[in-house]
Amino acid sequence: MKITKETIQHVANLARLNLTEQEKEKLTYEMENIISYVDKLNELDTSGIEPTAHVLPVKNVFREDKTKKSFDREKILANAPSQEDGCFKVPKIVE
Partner 1 sequence: MEYEIVIGLEVHSELSTKSKIYCTCTTEFGGEVNTHCCPICTGMPGVLPVLNEKVVEYAVKAGLATNCTIAEYSKQDRKNYFYPDLPKAYQTSQYDLPICKNGYIDIEVNGETKRIGLTRIHIEEDAGKLMHDEWDTGSLVDYNRCGVPLIEIVSEPDIRSAEEAKVFLENLKAILQYIDVSDCKMQEGSLRADVNLSVRPKGQKEFGTRTEMKNLNSFRGIIRAIEAETKRQIDEIESGGVIVQETRRWDDNKGISYAMRSKEEAHDYRYFPEPDLVPIVLDKEWIEKIRESLPELPEARKKRYVSEYGLPEYDAGILTSSKALSDFFEDAVSKSSNAKAVSNWIMGDLMRLLKEKNMEAEEIPFSGEYLAKMVALIDKGTISGAIAKKVFDKMFNTGKDPEVIVKEEGLEVVSDEGALVAVVTKILENNPQSVADYKSGKEKAFGFLVGQAMKETKGKASPQIINKILKEELDKM
Partner 2 sequence: MELHELTAHELGELLKNKKVSAVELTKTVLDRIEKVDSKVGSYITVCEDEALKRAKDVQEKIDKGETKSPLAGIPMALKDNMCTEGIKTTCASKMLNNFVPPYNATVAKKLYDQDTILLGKLNMDEFAMGGSNENSYFKQTKNPWDLERVPGGSSGGSAAAVASNEAIFTLGSDTGGSIRQPASFCGVVGIKPTYGAVSRFGLVAFASSLDQIGPLTKDVTDCALVLNAITGHDPMDSTSINIEYPDYTKALVNDVKGMKIGIPKEYIGEGINPEVKKSILDAIEVLRKLGAECEEFSLPITEYAIPAYYLIACAEASSNLARYDGVKYGYRAEKYTDLLDLYKQTRSEGFGDEVKRRIMLGTYALSSGYYDAYYKKALQVRTLISKGFNEAFSKYDLIVGPTAPTTAFKIGEKANDPLEMYLGDIYTVSVNIAGLPGLVVPCGLDSSNLPVGLQLIGKHFDESTLLRVGYTFEQNTEFHKNKAKI
CB 1 within 8 A of CB 39: yes
Backbone angles phi, psi at 22, to 5 degrees: -65, -45
Answer for which of 21, 43, 50, 64 binds partner 1 (CB under 8 A) is 64
Q: Of 17-25, 26-34, 35-43, 60-68, which segment contacts partner 1 by CB under 8 A?
A: 60-68
Nearer residue to partner 1 within complex by CB, 22 or 52: 52
Q: Out of 66, 79, 84, 86, name the contact with partner 2 by CB under 8 A.
A: 79
CB atoms within 10 A of CB 27: 19
